[in-house]
Amino acid sequence: MTGNVIEARGLSKDRVSSFLLRRSPILDGLSLSVKQGETYGLLGPNGAGKTTTVKILVGLMRPDRGEALVLGEKAGAQSALRKIGFLPENPYFYSHLTGLEFLEFIGQLFGLKKTELRDRVKQLLELVSMTVDADKPMRKYSKGMLQRLGIAQSLINDPEVVFWDEPMSGLDPIGRRDVRKILLDLKARGKTIFFNSHLLPDVSDVCDRVGVLAKGKLVAEDEIKNIVHSGGHKDLEEYFLEKVGG
């Protein structure tokens, strides 16, 4: 597929309070697009609507107004879901399973055959440095180990489009370095990547383009090369703070 593989058109989502049933906007007319093979970083302060945006794009939540398309299909369509990988902000796992068993389970959901699944799981465990701990039950995993496993499961189907919500959360500096390497490898393979992060150095290193979300609105958007002139992340930090009024 060529052209835009992710499109948000006038997305709005309201939060209804239990007190007096008052509505307040989470997203307010959000429109953006991501081209094939592009890495897009969505930035914003807490409560800006970043996670809501990702949930709508992967079909976990429906907008009150507007529409979202992924790979030319309505967000959440079965045909599109088979081609995407998703890492939620707070991934939940079956704690009684081992990491190996969990990845095998996810692979079976995608219909991977036994030999293909075995090879794919082995590859992903090595990719996220979890081979040694693969046979431990996940209730014994640290937050960083669970995050690594979450990244692995999001890639089990070799997706065309990757949605990651705060992929660096809970990771130590070594883990962050490893995830940057994975992102750069996915970029080199032509994957389309959409992720949220508060860690601006990581965004600066891997993204082609960023959007800044504030109070449910896209207040700025530009290519990283137009923002970062000094070779570091400070320019992106200043850009971000300026756009959100920090």
Q: Is residue 149 part of a domain?
A: yes
Confidence band for 14, pLDDT divided at 50, 70 and 90: very high
Residues 76 and 38 in one domain: yes
Residues 66 and 95 in one domain: no
Q: Is residue 13 part of a domain?
A: yes
Residues 226 and 104 in one domain: no
- pLDDT on residue 2: 55
Provide the pairing of β-strand 84-87 with 192-196: unpaired
Give 156-204 pLDDT, tens digit per residue.
999 999 999 999 888 889 989 999 999 999 999 999 999 998 888 889 9
**For 114-126, what is the mean pLDDT?**
95
Q: Is the pLDDT of residue 131 over 90?
A: yes
Q: Is residue 172 part of a domain?
A: no
Residues 79 and 112 in one domain: no
Q: Is the pLDDT of residue 92 over 80?
A: no
Q: Is the pLDDT of residue 1 over 60?
A: no
Domain boundary among 105, 132, 158: 158
**For 49-67, what is the mean pLDDT?**
95
Q: How far apart are CA 6 and CA 211, in angstroms?
A: 14
Q: Is the pLDDT of residue 124 over 90?
A: yes
**For 79-107, what is the mean pLDDT?**
91
| CATH code of residue 212 | 3.40.50.300
Residues 100 and 111 in one domain: yes
**For 31-55, what is the mean pLDDT?**
95
Percent of the chain at pLDDT exceeding 70: 96
Instruction: State how many domains the chain has.
Output: 2
Residue 17 DSSP class: P
Q: How far apart are CA 29 and CA 8, in angstroms?
A: 9
- DSSP run (H or E) holding 107: helix 99-109
Q: How far apart are CA 119 and CA 218, in angstroms?
A: 41
Q: If you search the block for the tokens 């709005």, which residue do you land on?
A: 12
Q: What angle do CA 175, 177, 178 make, to 5 degrees?
A: 65
Provide the pairing of β-strand 217-223 with 209-214: antiparallel
Cβ neighbours of residue 179 under 8 Å, at least 6 residues apart? 151, 167, 168, 171, 202
Q: Is the pLDDT of residue 42 over 60?
A: yes
Confidence band for 51, pLDDT divided at 50, 70 and 90: very high
- State the first-to-last Cα distance of the chain, in angstroms, to the nearest integer: 39
Q: What angle do CA 16, 18, 24 make, to 5 degrees?
A: 25
Give 212-246 pLDDT, tens digit per residue.
999 999 999 999 999 987 656 688 899 999 998 86
Q: How far apart are CA 38 and CA 7, in angstroms?
A: 13
Residues 4 and 58 in one domain: yes
Q: Is residue 26 part of a domain?
A: yes
Percent of the chain at pLDDT exceeding 90: 76
Coil/strand/helix, residue 11: strand
Cβ neighbours of residue 47 under 8 Å, at least 6 residues apart? none
**For 14-20, what is the mean pLDDT?**
75
State the residue range of the domain holding 32: 1-83+161-166+192-246
Domain boundary among 158, 183, 212: 158
Q: Is the pLDDT of residue 19 over 70?
A: no
Cβ neighbours of residue 139 under 8 Å, at least 6 residues apart? 95, 96
Q: Is residue 175 part of a domain?
A: no
Q: Is residue 219 part of a domain?
A: yes
Domain boundary among 136, 158, 180: 158
Mean pLDDT of the chain: 91
Residues 74 and 98 in one domain: no
Q: Is the pLDDT of residue 120 over 60?
A: yes
Q: Is residue 181 part of a domain?
A: no
Q: Is residue 174 part of a domain?
A: no
- pLDDT on residue 60: 94
